[in-house]
Structure formats: structure tokens, C-alpha cells
């Protein structure tokens, strides 16, 4: 499951523009609307900074990839998976995942 929410009722808490005028009480009330049991099931919480309209509209020249480049990378990754286990990763059973996708000690610690 992937979910998203604003950091506060107005959505600008922590924004460099300083546009947020929410009180700490308003922020607490807003965040309390999400039930504890639901939050317990979310394994990763990330804060994503706002991106300006200009950047969204124009995109970034840095690291920009075409669909063809991305497609080629996906095809290569799928071929690697098939070469490794005889099938796409999405078709692996739990037992096969444990055999094929072993974690290093550092990975376990993470």
C-alpha cells in the first residue's frame, strides 16, 4: 500500500516559503485523524519536499531519460531475472524468492 498526506491542514508545514500558519495544536489534531492501527501497518514514512510548478512543467535536464532508455533498462533487468531463476521475479514463489534473493548481513541489518 502506498499512501500520502499533507504535513498539516494547509499543506505547507516545513515549506521554505513560510506559508504555513497552522498552530501546533491544529497539526496534532490533523495528524490524529489517522488511526494508530493504520499507522502501525505503514513501514516507511518519507517527507517529500514541494517541487515548484516551473520544474514540474519544464522537467529537469539532469538525468532525464526517454521512455526508450527506460524500456531498454527494464528489458535488461527482466532478462537478468529469467537467466538467474528461469522466470520473471513476479512469478517467483516465496521459497524461490528466499533462494534467489538472499540478503547480505548488511542487508539484514538494514
Give 33-71 pLDDT, tens digit per residue: 988 898 888 888 888 888 888 888 886 666 678 899 999
Sorted by where each begins, the domain ranges of the chain are: 1-57, 67-109
How sure is the predictor about 83, in pLDDT bands with cuts at 50, 70 and 90? very high
Kindly write down the DSSP assignment for every residue of 32-95, as one continuous string.
HTS-HHHHHT-----------HHHHHH--STT---HHHHHHHHHHHHHHHHHHHSS-GGG--HH
- The mean pLDDT of 28-36, rounded to a whole number, is 92
Give me the residue label for grid cell 514514512. 45
CA of 79: how far to CAs of 59, 60, 71, 101, in Å? Answer: 30, 30, 12, 16
Task: Give me the pLDDT at residue 9, please.
Answer: 96
Q: What is the pTM of this model?
A: 0.49
Convert the pLDDT of each residue in 10-24 to its tens digit: 999 988 888 999 999
Amino acid at each position: 500500500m502506498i499512501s500520502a498526506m499533507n504535513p498539516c491542514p494547509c499543506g505547507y508545514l516545513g515549506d521554505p516559503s513560510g506559508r504555513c500558519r497552522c498552530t501546533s495544536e491544529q497539526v496534532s489534531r490533523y495528524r490524529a485523524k489517522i488511526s494508530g492501527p493504520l499507522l502501525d501497518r505503514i513501514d516507511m514514512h518519507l517527507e517529500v519536499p514541494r517541487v515548484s510548478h516551473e520544474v514540474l512543467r519544464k522537467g529537469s535536464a539532469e538525468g532525464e531519460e526517454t521512455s526508450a532508455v527506460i524500456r531498454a533498462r527494464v528489458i535488461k533487468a527482466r532478462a537478468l531475472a529469467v537467466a538467474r531463476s528461469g522466470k520473471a521475479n513476479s512469478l517467483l514463489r516465496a521459497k524461490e524468492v528466499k533462494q534467489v534473493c538472499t540478503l547480505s548481513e548488511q542487508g539484514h541489518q538494514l
